[in-house]
Structures are given as C-alpha cells and as structure tokens.
Structure 1
Amino acid sequence: MERRSMMASGGLRVDTHAHIYHDAMPLAQDAWHRPVGEAPLDAYLACLDAHGIDRAVLAAVSLFGDYNDYALEAVAAQPRLRTTVIIDPETDIFILREMAKAGVVGVRLQWRSTPHPPDLDSFAWRKLFRRVADLGWHIQLHDNGPRLPDAIAAIERSGAPIVIDHFGRPDAARGVNCPGFVAVLRAVERGNCWVKMSGAFRLGPPAMVRELAAALLRQAGPERLLWGSDWPFAAFEGQVAYADTLACFEQLVPDAALRARIHRTAARFYFGEE
C-alpha cells in the first residue's frame, strides 16, 4: 500500500494531526471531552492504508494529560509515525533525549480549554523551550486565536520552531481579522512558524474556513503549511469521516500540485524526507 500511494501521488503523503487512545488510559481530571469509543493504533494504521497516506504525526491527547505511554509505544514500533508529547516543563533533559530516540518530535501546548495558561516567561518554561530548540523539536500550540499573540512571542524568543494547530482557531466572528490569526501570519513571515490546515469542522462557517485557507496560501504558501485529519474527530465522532477531511483539503487547496507541496513540507519537517 505504501509504495502504491507514493507512486499515485508522486511523493509522500503525510497526515500531521491525529490521536490514538484506548479505554484503559486514565482520563485527566480536567478533560474537556469523554471519548465515546476507542481510537486504537491498528485502526488508525488501517485508515491510513485505506486512504493512501504514507506517514503520520500523532498529536498528544490532552484528554489524558501527560500520559504519553501509548503514543510513545506506537512511534517506537512504527517508523512511519512521529508524535508530540504533553510534559511538565521541569521534565529532565535525559528523559527528553530518550523520547527523541523513540520518535518524539515536539511538545504540545493544548491550552484551548485552560482558563489561565502558565507564565511562559518563567524560568521553567523558558528552559523547556530552549531544550526543545536544542533537540531540534518544535512547539505545537493549540489555543484560542485571541490568546495566540503572547504565546507566539514567548516561544519565538527561545528560537524553538512553532506549529499552530487548526488554522490558529480564530474567533469565528472576526475570521481572518482576528488578532490571533494576524499574529500567526506575521510569525509565518518571520520564518520559524508553520500552520496546520486541520480541524476545519471545528471552526465555524465553511465560508470563513475558505477565507482562512486562502489567506494562508497567499501569505504563507505551501512551504509553511501542513495538512492533518484530526482523526478520530473527538466530540464529532460519527459526524466526520476520514474521507471528509481529505475532500475538505481538496476543496480548500484545489490545485493538486500545491497539495503535493504541502505534503512534501510535512515529510521534510517531521521526517527529514522529500
């Protein structure tokens, strides 16, 4: 399947945003959602094969806090996968290095449901961001659009690359004019920020999503964009299918050559492949 999909697309196809979990995993006390079913590794791999996707990046699941065990086991066993993790900022550098050997490529900050994000200018967070930069990892940032500017500024000061989830989650009423989305575009222009075209079904009216995609294509270009399915569509289980996310990607980026370049960006960024 992998060889056929590569031949059909002319290059690697990469899903940069998905989650895996099973019923025995401990749900965090502040989890924003209780999954209605499992999302096991085998099911996800089968989904990738069925849709001709060669590589994938797991996004740390905030529902389970810093319980990264399942994702770490998955990437250690599957060379076609990478993952981000959720960790305490005081996590020892030796642990981070072992995670890197297993297939970890970044730290996820999932703060959209957090009332008060931490002080990113504190020593603990500045130390973590510096270590992330030194390891060649990135910071995967997911927060409400209006809160992004301050977080982006703090991370940029460390030199760590930034990947913004879900188009930057702009305020639906303001769309491309949301200060957070504007801050994302400016960060991309400065050269150390990438944006995921993922989770469109979470954002608001389709017309707004099309405007966001057009602005990103115009100002960021395919070299700074990534595509992700957001499988298994937490809180939208049964409402979204994997094929729907691919169809959405094709609608937002109708040019097949541009889509191929976005996949190539992901292959290079996460796997060091062209």
Structure 2
Amino acid sequence: MDASIFSAPKIDCHCHIFDPESFPYAPGVFYAPSGGEIATADYFMQVMSAYGVSHALLVGPNSGYGTDNRCMLDAIRRGGHRFKGIAVVENDASASQLQDLQAQGVVGIAFNMALLGLAHYANADALWERIAALDMCVQVQVQDDQMAELAPRLLGCGAQIVVDHHGRPDISRGLASPGFDALLRMADSGRCAVKLSGYDKFSREALPFADAQPFTDVLLSAFGPANCLWGSDWPNIRATRRLDYGTLLGVFERSVPSEADRRTILVDTPMRLFGFGTGGN
C-alpha cells in the first residue's frame, strides 16, 4: 500500500517569505501582502514541521520586495540548512553580485515574464549566461504563449532552466497552444525542469482542479519525474480562491498516482538540481 503524501519525505520547491515588520517592503512595489498573507520564516518552519516537509526552495517575490532579497536571505541563514533560495536581481547584475548571493545559499535567479512582460527582459541574455557560468539556474514564470518566443533564448544560454506553475497554460486553448507546445519541446534539452504547481494561476475549476490534470499528465510524460518538481506557492498571495497547504498536497497526490514518481519529484529531483541534502544538510 502506498504511503500517505503526509508521511512521505518531501521538499517544497516554490514558497515565499513575507516579514514586513523585520524587513519593510520596498517603495513602489506593485503589491504589498498584508493580513493573512504575512508569512514569516518562523511560521513557515512550523508549517513544514506540521506536514513533514524537510527542506524548501524559497523564491524571492516581486510582490513586497522586488529585487530586495534581504528577507529571503535572512530566512536561509536562520533555517538551519533547511532552505535554498531563488533571488530576484536587476538585469545588469554582475558576476560578483551573483557569487555573493550564491555564497548565501541562492541557487538560481527568478524572472517573472507573466508579471513584467517579455520586453522587460529583452536585455537579460548576458545575465543568463553569467548565471550559467556559475552553475545556477534560470527560473522563469511565463503565461499563455510567452514560451513560444522565449524558449530559443533560454535554451541558448546554457543554464539549467526551471519553469514555474505548469508554464501557466491557457486552459481554454488545450494542450496544443504554441506556448505549451514550446514548453514540452524544451524537455528534449535535458536541462529544463517544470514545477507541477500554481493551479490557482491557470485552472478554471474549483479544487481539485480537474481541468489541470491533462496538462500535468503531458508534462510528466514529456519531462519525466526526474525533471519535475512540486511547490505549494505558500502563502498563496493574491489567490482567487481558498487554498490550504494540506489540500494542495492532496491535489499533487491524486495528480501523480505513482508513489515512485512522487518520491522522485518530491525528493530526488530537488536534491539533484538544488543541492539539498538529507538529515538537515
């Protein structure tokens, strides 16, 4: 009998920390999380303990902090080797800036095309090459057909690519849309991984997001569990519906029925891609 998702080992590969009391938000950010969206490192570590999550990949959010990574870096320092980070930087960030972040537990840099548009990153290719030279990953969040234009540039930079939230496909257009097709073809490169996450950002149905299942199935078939990851997107800011950590784990358990595949996605792949260890290392 398969083990429950709640007792199985797991690493959360997409979550955010918001602590405006200790780290005030940057001026002029487009959205400032508040109230129930406040998500400190101390609270998240209690969430991890409650659900048996050993490690997590913290993603620097555009909301609240922009390119200010101090809150995330502080969480990594205090996390006792439980955390790695994905930072947000300006497009002209130097190799030395990247090395400084890397020394503090950052394993990649995030680029949010879905929020800021492709034009914002028109000059990012040189940065991607600097990231590749340091053996860090380029993490991208795209939506609709953005990947159709972006894929050749990403594959040309030489870095490990990580794609957020199923590639945020347009559900109404089905599996054959140019953007989703471009994402699927990236699997052949052998250096692209995709996060099976972010249902609130593209599903048009209530939990358990049944309309997302065909996209999960095709991604899992194309990339294989060795290039798939899971993330909660905790604390799910700006969510359009109620989301809870446990129910999102349940969605993942149902959507990936093989226990062996789940083990690969939840543990083996993040350990290989991001250097997470075991036993608190």
- TM-score scaled by length of structure 1: 0.89
Q: Structure 1 stretch 79-88 or stretch 91-100: which is displaced more? A: 91-100
Deviations 1:64-99 (A, max 9, x none): 210110101111232110111110121222221111
User: Are positions 1:114 and 2:116 aligned together?
Assistant: yes
RMSD over aligned Cα atoms: 2.0
Partner SS for 1:62: coil
Task: Report the AA paired with residue 249 of structure 2.
Answer: L
Q: Kindly report which structure 2 residues correspond to 1:243-258, keeping only aligned pairs within 5 A, or say none.
A: 243-258=246-261
Cα distance in 2 for partners of 1:178, 1:273 equals: 38
Cα distance in 2 for partners of 1:58, 1:237 equals: 22
Does the Cα contact within 8 Å between 1:225 and 1:262 map onto a contact in 2? yes
Q: Kindly report which structure 2 residues correspond to 1:190-229, keeping only aligned pairs within 5 A, or say none.
A: 190-204=189-203, 205=205, 206-229=209-232
Cα distance in 2 for partners of 1:232, 1:27 equals: 19
- Partner of residue 16, structure 1: 13
Partner SS for 2:12: strand
CA drift of 1:29 comes to: 2.7
User: Are positions 1:29 and 2:28 aligned together?
Assistant: yes
Cα distance in 2 for partners of 1:116, 1:200 equals: 22
Cα distance in 1 for partners of 2:34, 2:210 equals: 29
- Partner of residue 40, structure 2: 40
CA drift of 1:119 comes to: 4.8
CA drift of 1:208 comes to: 2.4
- Partner of residue 266, structure 1: 270
In structure 2, list runs of 5 or more residues that go unmatched.
none
Partner SS for 1:195: strand
**Cα 1:237–1:55 shift into 2, 3 Å:** farther
Partner SS for 1:88: coil
**Cα 1:269–1:178 shift into 2, 3 Å:** same
Cα distance in 2 for partners of 1:265, 1:116 equals: 28
- TM-score scaled by length of structure 2: 0.87
User: Are positions 1:104 and 2:106 aligned together?
Assistant: yes
Cα distance in 2 for partners of 1:246, 1:185 equals: 24
- Partner of residue 49, structure 2: 49
- Partner of residue 244, structure 2: 241
**Cα 1:95–1:211 shift into 2, 3 Å:** same
CA drift of 1:158 comes to: 1.0
- Partner of residue 146, structure 2: 147
**Cα 1:47–1:182 shift into 2, 3 Å:** same
CA drift of 1:273 comes to: 4.2
Cα distance in 2 for partners of 1:32, 1:152 equals: 28
Deviations 1:193-243 (A, max 9, x none): 000011113222323210011111222110110000010011128811100
Does the Cα contact within 8 Å between 2:18 and 2:33 map onto a contact in 1? no
Task: Report the AA paired with residue 55 of structure 2.
Answer: R
- Equivalent residue pairs, number: 263
- Partner of residue 128, structure 2: 129
CA drift of 1:105 comes to: 0.6
CA drift of 1:157 comes to: 0.8
- Partner of residue 163, structure 1: 162
Does the Cα contact within 8 Å between 1:165 and 1:198 map onto a contact in 2? yes
**Cα 1:86–1:14 shift into 2, 3 Å:** same
Deviations 1:109-140 (A, max 9, x none): 012122453353x3xx2221111011111111
Residue identity (%): 28
Cα distance in 1 for partners of 2:177, 2:240 equals: 28
Does the Cα contact within 8 Å between 2:200 and 2:241 map onto a contact in 1? no
Cα distance in 2 for partners of 1:47, 1:178 equals: 37
Task: Report the AA paired with residue 233 of structure 2.
Answer: D
**Cα 1:154–1:198 shift into 2, 3 Å:** same
CA drift of 1:23 comes to: 2.5
Cα distance in 1 for partners of 2:190, 2:98 equals: 25
CA drift of 1:39 comes to: 0.5
Cα distance in 1 for partners of 2:104, 2:142 equals: 27
**Cα 1:99–1:39 shift into 2, 3 Å:** same
Which stretches of structure 1, 4 residues or more, deviate above 3 A after TM superposition? 32-37
Does the Cα contact within 8 Å between 1:166 and 1:196 map onto a contact in 2? yes
